[in-house]
């Protein structure tokens, strides 16, 4: 049976998220791999991938907030909302200061509605929006509710090679946001709020939840030693069960539990219905199940151990 766990990958710009998983299949000799949170082709940064039964936990990883940095180019907009796409609008030069940009950023924090880019993986009539856009089909992208935790300017005036339009200002921005946020669309909307048009470059994902790209590895350097246990990536509290209790959990039944579980009262992430999730470990500390903690009992959700 292939090993089960998480791998932290640092995806290079220009590589698809799907291709980034190829080294996992080779190193761990399995086709049972997956990842949480696809990155655009031109984006770089952290991808949390999984092998074996840990793939069942990827929805919990994907629900975590993400931290990105990106460069906002003011003055032109492209069809892809990236700096080197086909120009669809060239704006007049304006004077936009860092202070002016920082003044409008608060309107993009909290819960907001965002219209995704036309070039994206959102399904329209069974096909990706990007497929329809490439074929010149006329379609409407509906807004989606997202959450922006924070936005801050971290630099200005940077240069990017290959711009297809004429920019009059650039700013580097850091964004902490929820699942489903499109950084390209965020850059578009910020530019419009400033009275101009814009696009982005150099999108990089730095964190997913509390996991940082600083702990990630490039695919070409991946070895079996980079496999991380599930509790190293997901911060669910761990409860230890004896053999009899674990046997009950494995069969899909709940076990009585009258002890307090530190950390189980907090919400485990946006979008998971505020479930109180815990890892159930055996007497040796091996995590074998994800369970739901309820007053007086622990109920199994996902079994991670090997079959008998």
- In a 13 Å sphere around the CA of 173, the CA atoms on its Cβ side amount to 28
Catalogue the active-site residues.
40
78, containing H or E segment: strand 76-78
CA separation for the pair 118, 134 (Å, rounded): 10
Q: What is the phi-psi region of residue 211: left when phi exceeds 0, alpha when psi lies from -120 to 50, beta otherwise?
A: beta
- Predicted model pTM: 0.91
Q: In order of start, what are the domains of the chain with their CATH numbers? A: 5-64+209-232 (3.30.2350.10), 66-205 (3.30.2350.10), 238-303 (2.30.130.10)
| pLDDT of res. 119 | 78
The pair of structure tokens assigned to 181 is 């946020």
Q: Is 284 helix (H, G, I), strand (E, B) or coil?
A: coil
Q: Give me the residues paired with residue 277 across strands.
A: 292
Residue showing tokens 């920082």: 102
What is the DSSP code (8-state) at residue 168?
Answer: S
As averages over each run of 10 residues, the pLDDT of the chain (308 residues) reads 87 91 90 89 96 93 96 97 96 92 97 90 80 80 94 96 96 96 97 97 96 96 94 93 94 91 60 74 92 92 78
Q: Is 42 helix (H, G, I), strand (E, B) or coil?
A: coil
């Amino acid at each position: 049976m292939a090993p089960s766990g998480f791998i932290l990958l640092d995806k290079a710009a220009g590589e698809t998220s799907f291709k980034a998983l190829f080294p996992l299949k080779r190193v761990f000799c399995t086709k049972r791999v997956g990842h949480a949170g696809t990155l655009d082709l031109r984006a770089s940064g952290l991808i949390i991938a999984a092998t074996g039964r840990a793939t069942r936990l990827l929805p919990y990883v994907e629900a975590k907030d993400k931290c990105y940095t990106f460069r906002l180019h003011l003055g032109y907009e492209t069809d892809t909302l990236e700096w080197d796409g086909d120009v669809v609008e060239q704006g007049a030069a304006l004077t936009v200061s860092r202070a002016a940009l920082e003044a409008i950023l608060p309107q993009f924090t909290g819960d907001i509605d965002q219209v995704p880019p036309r070039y994206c993986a959102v399904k329209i009539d069974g096909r990706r929006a990007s497929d329809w856009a490439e074929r010149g089909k006329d379609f409407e992208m509906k807004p989606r509710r997202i959450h922006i935790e924070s936005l801050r300017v971290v630099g200005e005036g940077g240069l990017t090679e290959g711009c297809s339009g004429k920019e009059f200002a650039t700013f580097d921005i850091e964004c902490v946001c929820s699942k489903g946020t499109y950084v390209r669309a965020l850059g578009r909307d910020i530019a419009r709020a400033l009275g101009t048009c814009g696009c982005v470059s150099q999108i990089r994902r730095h964190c997913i939840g509390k996991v940082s790209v600083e702990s990630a590895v490039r695919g070409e350097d991946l070895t079996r030693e980079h496999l991380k246990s599930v509790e190293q990536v997901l911060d669910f509290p761990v409860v230890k069960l004896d053999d009899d209790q674990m046997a009950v959990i494995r069969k899909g039944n709940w076990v009585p539990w009258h002890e307090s579980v530190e950390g189980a009262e907090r919400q485990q992430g946006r979008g998971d219905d505020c479930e109180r999730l815990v890892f159930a470990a055996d007497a040796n500390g091996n995590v074998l199940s994800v369970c739901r903690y309820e007053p007086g009992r622990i109920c199994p959700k996902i079994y991670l151990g090997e079959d008998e």
